[in-house]
Amino acid sequence: MGKCLAVLALFGLASLVCPASGVVFAQEEDAEYSWGTAKSVSSDQIVVMEYDYDKDEDVEVSYVVDPKVELKGVDSLDDIKVGDDIEVNYVTKDGKKVAKVITVEKPTEEEDQ
């Protein structure tokens, strides 16, 4: 019985020192991804021609480029050219799609020939 009370007292003290109910952690948005062909690129936006399965047609989709965007397959946004095949990992924030990771699939020399 004494051990049980000691454990309860310890948990009670711990809840006073660091109350879980008072700690709020920022919730990470659920990331999504899409792919298509680069239609236009600027320092703050990328437009991708993507296939919309619901509409059964190609559509242009705009993404705001996060200032801390991670680029794969290129060194900078300037290296992305119209017509490049790309994949965009994004989150939706305030109704806008925000690109967090942009991957550019450049053809290899074998594919060019």
Q: Look at the chain and count its residues.
A: 113
20 — pLDDT class (breaks 50, 70, 90): very low
Task: Output the CA torsion sign for 92, 93, 94, 96.
Answer: negative
Per-residue pLDDT, averaged over 21-33, amounts to: 57
Per-residue pLDDT, averaged over 44-71, amounts to: 96
94 Ramachandran zone, left/alpha/beta (phi>0; psi -120 to 50): left
- The pLDDT score that the predictor gives to residue 113 is 55
- pLDDT over 80 at 90, yes or no: yes
- pLDDT over 60 at 42, yes or no: yes
> What structural domains does the chain harbor?
32-108 (2.40.50.320)
- The pLDDT score that the predictor gives to residue 19 is 45
Per-residue pLDDT, averaged over 7-14, amounts to: 45
Contacts of 35 (CB under 8 A, 6+ apart): 48, 50, 85, 86, 87, 88
